[in-house]
Amino acid sequence: MSDSRSDTDKRIALLIDADNAPAAKIDVILAEIARHGVANVRRAYGNWKSQHLSGWEKVLHEYAIRPIQQFAYSTGKNASDMAMVIDAMDLMYARNLDGFAIVSSDADFTPLVMRLRNDGYGVYGFGQEKTPAPFVKACSTFLYLEKLRALGESDSGGAVKPRTTGELQGDRELSQLLRNAVAAEADDDGWTHLGSVGTHVRNQGSFDARNYGYRNLSALIEATGLFEVRREGQAVEIREAPVPGPTRTRGRRSRPGS
C-alpha cells in the first residue's frame, strides 16, 4: 500500500519460513529491510521442537522475532507454509502495513506474493540461489542471501567475486532487459537518465544489481561494457554503445591465386 509516508517510515511485516532460510543471515536481512522501512512485525514459522531449527532459536530473542509454533501434522507436508500464508492474509486485510518481507527459498509462496502485490503491497523476497525462478520474479525485489554477503564478507571470510564482463554479456536475459530499458526511456540522441532505467527494470520484475555482485545499477551497467556512461555532477546518463563495424583495409584487393 502507498501513502504519504517516506520510504524509511514504511511498515513492513517480516515473515520467515525458518525451515527454508539460514539463521546466520538474519542481520543482513534486517539491514536490507531497514533501507525500505521498519519491520514492526517479525515472525518466524517452524516446528521449534526440531533440532533443525536450533540455529534460529538462538537469534529469536536477540532480534525480537516472535516464534510461531507449527507441528508437523503429517509426513511430507509443511504446516509452517500454511500458517505463514494465513497470517500474511490476515495482516493484509488489516490494512495496517505497507509491505511484506518474505524469507524463504520455497516456490510454494509464489501465489501469496502475487496476491499481495495485486493488492498494492510491496514484497521484498529473500532466499538462497536455489530459489525457483517463479518465486523470485513474483517479488517486487528479490535478493539472494549469498549475494548480500558480497557487500562485506562471505561466510568463508573472502570477498564474493562479481560477474565478469563476459559473463554479464553472456546473460541474454540481463542484456535484453537493460537494452530495452535504455531504449524505452532514451531521448533523440539515445541518452537516458540512470534513474529512469532503474525504474523501468524494477517494474519488469525482481531486479537488483547486487544479485550480480555489484553495489548498484550504475556499477553493473558499466561492467557490462554494453553502454556509454557520462556524468555531470550527480547526474548519470547512459546510452547503448555503438556496435563496431567490420574493419576495412585500404588498397587493391588480391585476386584468388595471386
Domain assignment of residue 257, yes or no = no
pLDDT at 201: 79
Number of domains the chain contains: 2
- Parts of the chain with a pLDDT under 70: 1-8, 72-80, 149-160, 203-205, 244-258
What pTM was computed for the model?
0.67
The CATH number of the domain holding residue 54 is 3.40.50.1010
CB 171 within 8 A of CB 220: no
Q: In the prediction, which pLDDT does 1 show?
A: 52
- pLDDT tens figures, 133-173: 999 999 999 999 887 764 444 444 444 578 899 988 888 88
**What pLDDT score does 20 carry?**
87
The answer to whether residues 141 and 23 belong to one domain is yes
Please report the DSSP string for the chain in residue order. Answer: ---SS-GGG-EEEEEEEGGGS-GGGHHHHHHHHTTT-EEEEEEEEE-TTSGGGHHHHTTTTTTTPEEEE----STT--HHHHHHHHHHHHHHHHT--SEEEEE-S-GGGHHHHHHHHHTT-EEEEEE-TTS-HHHHHHSSEEEEHHHHGGGS--TTSSPPPPPPHHHHHH-HHHHHHHHHHHHHH--TTS-EEHHHHHHHHHHHSS--GGGGT-SSHHHHHHHHTSEEEEEETTEEEEEEPPPPPPPP--SPPPPTT-
pLDDT for the residue 2: 46
Whether residue 19 sits in one domain with residue 129 = yes
pLDDT at 88: 96
Looking at the structure, tell me whether residues 44 and 121 fall in a common domain. Answer: yes
d(CA 232, CA 230): 7
Q: Are residues 17 and 143 located together in one domain of the fold? A: yes
Task: Please check whether residue 112 lies inside any domain of the structure.
Answer: yes
Whether 34 is covered by a domain: the verdict is yes
Q: What's the domain range around 65? A: 7-151
Report pLDDT for 57. 86
Give domain status of residue 234, yes or no.
Answer: yes
| One domain for residues 37 and 140 | yes
C-alpha 56, offset from chain centre:
23
Residues 44 and 117 in one domain: yes
- Are residues 113 and 195 both part of a single domain? no
What length does the chain have? 258
Last residue in a domain, options 126, 151, 176 = 151
Which of 208, 99, 85, 84 has the alpha carbon at shortest distance from 146?
208
Q: Is 205 left (phi over 0), alpha (psi -120 to 50) or beta?
A: left
Q: Say whether both 205 and 136 belong to one domain.
A: no
Is residue 197 included in any domain, yes or no?
Answer: yes
Co-location of 82 and 181 in the same domain: no
Q: Are 44 and 142 in the same domain?
A: yes
